[in-house]
Amino acid sequence: MEQNKNKKKIQLTELRQDLVTGDWVVIATGRAKKPEEFASSRRTLIEEDLSHPCFFCHPEETDQEKDVLIYEKSNGDWSLRVFPNKYPSFVSGRAPKHFEEGPYFAMDGTGYHELIVTRDHHRQIAQMNFLEVAEMLDAYQERYIDLMNKKTVNYIEVFHNHGKEAGASIAHPHSQLMAIPVVSPYVKSELDGAELYHKANKSCVYCAMIAWETEHKKRIVFENDEFVAFCPFSSRAAFEVWVMPKKHKPYFERTADKDKMALAQALQTSINKVYRALEDPAYNFYIHTSPCDGKDYPHYHWHIEIIPRTAVWAGFELSTGIEVSSIQPETAADYLRKI
């Protein structure tokens, strides 16, 4: 009897389902950390060879390809530039050739792979002002619009890796754009889920999320008149944040100039809060928007997902595809809100 008295009560975990894709995540409340404990997720600094010039500070001196876009300051110096990746994952050229090998199918990796580089070697997005972030968003949009009607392009992914654990190999802050001939399975699952929800409910699933989150507030991180940032109900990672337009908008590239500062404020504020809460963690963010494959996607709702690298996938995650988070998104959002 005494042994039962001293037995520690085990808390149940929660299985939460993504409203759009149907994917499951585990919120491991039984082994939950306090929010401040996640500061140990600080990123590993990338080692730099100081005997050579930075590839991105002086791209014209390091055999980088010619700029496809450059923004200049009034003093003649540049503030942002875009150029093709020297080591691209996708190479521009003719339409991709398809081929088969037994039961397998493949195609040429035709497309575009570009780097969007901001001027300051040390100042990351969390330390930028809203105008600088708005300029970066301008570049994303300008390059997207220029590439979206290319024959070899059906989807364009814009993403940003910060920190070694997030896949960054160069310390200088930069984003990447890949324009590819296929739609990613992840985006396809979102498109399918959004369409199914719309058929069943005659409304947008993301708009339903926004309505609930803005009414109940417990997972809200930041909002202004045009955009809302929140920790999603089925967060795959601790301190995951989504940024969405409040009005139903399927296409990122159609973001109006008048909304760009509000988007910059929502994105920079969210990243800055994660930066301060976790003491500069590694993270990725990416834009999910409707494909540019000539089809119409009125049921979709574009958004940005910010994923801090607070955990490493192990056997369970790899074998099931079910991610485990050790903090409730409500707790994470409350902590971020107060920063």
Q: What is the pLDDT of residues 57-72, one digit of tens each?
A: 988 777 777 899 999 9
The DSSP line for 75-140 is TS-EEEEEEE-SS-SSB--SSPPEEEETTEEEE--BSEEEEEEES-SS--GGGS-HHHHHHHHHHH
Q: What is the pLDDT of residues 134-186, one digit of tens each?
A: 999 999 999 999 999 999 999 999 999 999 999 999 999 999 999 999 999 99
pLDDT at 335 over 90: yes
- The β-bridge partners of 158 are 177, 287
Residue 63 shares a structural domain with residue 164: yes
The predicted pLDDT at position 58 comes to: 84
The predicted pLDDT at position 125 comes to: 98
The predicted pLDDT at position 31 comes to: 66
Residue 207 shares a structural domain with residue 331: yes
CA 132 to chain centre: 18
Assess if residue 36 is contained within a domain.
no
CATH number at residue 93: 3.30.428.10
Which tokens belong to 107? Answer: 């195609």
pTM: predicted TM-score of the whole model, two decimal places: 0.93
pLDDT at 29 over 90: no
Confidence of residue 36 (pLDDT cuts 50, 70, 90): confident
The predicted pLDDT at position 11 comes to: 67
Assess if residue 50 is contained within a domain.
no
Q: What is the pLDDT of residues 87-115, one digit of tens each?
A: 899 998 778 889 999 999 999 999 999 99
Question: Could you give the C-alpha distances from 87 to 17, 84, 112, in angstroms and in order?
Answer: 38, 9, 11
Q: Which of 148, 180, 212 is the last residue of a domain?
A: 180
Residue 100 shares a structural domain with residue 119: yes
Residue 209 shares a structural domain with residue 123: no
Domain of residue 220, residue span: 184-337
Q: What is the pLDDT of residues 270-282, one digit of tens each?
A: 999 999 999 999 9
Residue 214 shares a structural domain with residue 109: no
DSSP-assigned letter for residue 60: G
10 Å Cβ neighbour count for 32? 17
Confidence of residue 34 (pLDDT cuts 50, 70, 90): confident
Q: Which residues touch 299 (CB under 8 Å, ≥6 apart)? A: 191, 194, 195, 197, 198, 204, 250
Assess if residue 38 is contained within a domain.
no
Q: Which of 180, 209, 225 is the last residue of a domain?
A: 180
| Total domains, the chain | 2
